[in-house]
Chain A
């Protein structure tokens, strides 16, 4: 038992321990606050989306940070997860009255479909590299969004009806699930903060399991040096595909959770801006840095909401903060400073 505890703080596992402590700690504190004092709507409304963006950013970090390929279309995977979840949840409302089971089923199907799409897309995408790859992921993100924008889907007692581009559905007392650019309306809100936290924990578990294994080493080796990795028998394409598909699965799960937190959701939500936003979180948090990603996402997601009172100046200030922070974050002097402080702490730990 004592050894187990020591292992948790071993430098190899420290990042993992901090991640889980961070998430569970935040959960406990917020739950206590929620039950003791009245938190504002604004605050409680941010919790689930924040969880979703954390999962999205973590999944993107897998591709950008660990696999070293720039993806500009991750919102597309989020969209697949989101609208799959809406459809599954809508269709199974009567069959599965229990919201928890329905939520799990919806998220599961959203992430599976997103993973399948990720696998299909990875075939043309991973033939490329560098800037070309990034541009193609951008294109796929747009294609997915445009496709969903043109889907009309509903169901009634006769079954599911589907049409493309224009609405030709005749539903008799049925329910529209997707109505083109209007997206989903009247969705049952079945996500909650606890499920968000649970999904983050699961995401962290998957990512840490992966990067600490032979698969993770192959992914990172392929990132650091392609030719050297091949020379010791690592299959580059297989490694990159694995990272891409796992990332798509997680992004899909994030989308599913996100969708089931709102009663209405438009496909336009998952445009290029969302992909870039996730990229900002990842870059700000540090490529390949999991805890950094979690913190960066939280701060950068909450900040614009807090600045809402500044109205028109909101995005201006957000942008300025972003520039300052990025400048500071890439400053060598600051990094050295942090390193020194870190060393002081770890040295103390040794002598004790």
Chain B
């Protein structure tokens, strides 16, 4: 097998005296959808925050396509190819749906401040092209109808979808989804699963997702990592995880 897209080696972080995550080793290969599950407080979101450098890991390495990104900052990590969504939705509430996605494409614009000021042809063609791309992206998530709505006034489910669209807009190789189905009803979740698969196939990316909805996780994840107390408890395909005694114990207690 060729080199994994993401490789985490001995990753760990301490907050003061508390070790939140320790000795974590993970791998994600091209075209994979991988789940990261575990009881509340297991450190799942902390892993995401380390991957995107919102937190600085205390130990370990993160390799993205072989490049160590553990010392980069959040902006550089995104440029290297990781985009994410957030557990408690973080949209640009006072920007339109369209502008949220365009903001995600900010680094694909090539015009300069002078182009901006003098409204050159370069600015216009750039903006037109991005607008078209953004619209395509919004269509995938059925958000094109509400492209001029303020992001803050979208319904909850649509906000979650917009966040995924915005993350995709930055052309990642790896997409991190933090509880994408939280607050969605079963029908919406079903739809979301379709969308996640579609996104993986049409953008040819790999996806790592945190989720509590076991139906979703077992259905779309090819491999699953289980985290408990900041340590890796188990890994394997859905079938293996479902029948793993340690995992059952962690979730249900003795």
Contacts and interface: CB of A to CB of B under 8 A. Distances in A.
Nearest to B111: A214
Interface in B83-121: 83-84, 86, 90-95, 99-100, 102-104, 106-107, 109, 111, 113, 116-117, 119
A242 B116 CA distance: 13
Contacts of B73: 230
A276 interface: no
Contacts of A288: 94
A213 B74 contact: no
B228 interface: no
Interface string A209-253: 110011101101101110111111111000000100000000000
Nearest to A205: B117
Contact of A215 (B74, B79, B84, B113): B113
Interface stretch (B21-29, B38-46, B166-174, B240-248): B166-174
B119 A233 contact: no
Interface residues of A, number: 26
B109 A214 contact: yes
B184 interface: no
Nearest to A225: B90
A224 B90 CA distance: 9
Given A214-B111, A215-B116, A232 B104 contact: yes
B106 A220 contact: no
A157 to B, nearest CB: 41
B91 to A, nearest CB: 7
Nearest to B152: A224
A232 B103 contact: yes
Query: Which of A215, A217, A242, A288 counts the most B-chain CB atoms under 10 A from its CB?
Result: A217
B48 to A, nearest CB: 10
B90 A213 contact: no
Contacts of A217: 95, 99, 102-103, 106
A234 B148 CA distance: 22
**For this complex, into which size category does the number of interface residues on chain B fall?**
35 or more
Contacts, number: 91
B79 A233 contact: yes
B167 A210 contact: no
A11 B92 contact: no
Contacts of B83: 231-232
Query: Which of B74, B100, B127, B148 counts the most A-chain CB atoms under 10 A from its CB?
Result: B74
B109 A224 contact: no
A306 interface: no
A105 B117 CA distance: 20
A230 B92 CA distance: 12
Interface string B139-162: 000000000100000000000000
A214 B106 contact: yes
Contacts of A235: 75
Contacts of B100: 221
Nearest to A215: B116
A231 B116 contact: no
Given A227-B54, A229-B103, A231-B84, A11 B75 contact: no
B103 A209 contact: no
A288 B150 CA distance: 15
A339 to B, nearest CB: 12
A273 B127 CA distance: 41
B106 A210 contact: no
A221 B91 CA distance: 9
A206 interface: yes
Interface in A32-91: none
Query: Which of A206, A210, A231 counts the most B-chain CB atoms under 10 A from its CB?
Result: A231
B177 to A, nearest CB: 13
A231 B91 CA distance: 11
Contact of B170 (A214, A225, A233): A233
Contacts of B94: 220, 223-224, 288
B110 to A, nearest CB: 10
B91 A225 contact: yes
A233 B106 contact: yes
Nearest to A237: B75
B106 A232 contact: yes
Contacts of A228: 86, 90-92, 166
A321 to B, nearest CB: 29
Interface of B: 52, 54, 73-75, 78-79, 83-84, 86, 90-95, 99-100, 102-104, 106-107, 109, 111, 113, 116-117, 119, 123, 127, 148, 166-167, 169-170
Given A217-B95, A229-B92, 15 more contacts: A11-B148, A206-B117, A209-B116, A217-B106, A218-B106, A221-B106, A225-B91, A227-B74, A230-B78, A231-B74, A231-B78, A231-B90, A233-B107, A234-B103, A235-B75
Query: Which A-B residue pairs are the 4 nearest by beta carbons?
Result: A233-B78, A228-B90, A224-B92, A230-B74
6 contacts: A227-B54, A230-B73, A230-B74, A233-B75, A233-B170, A234-B106
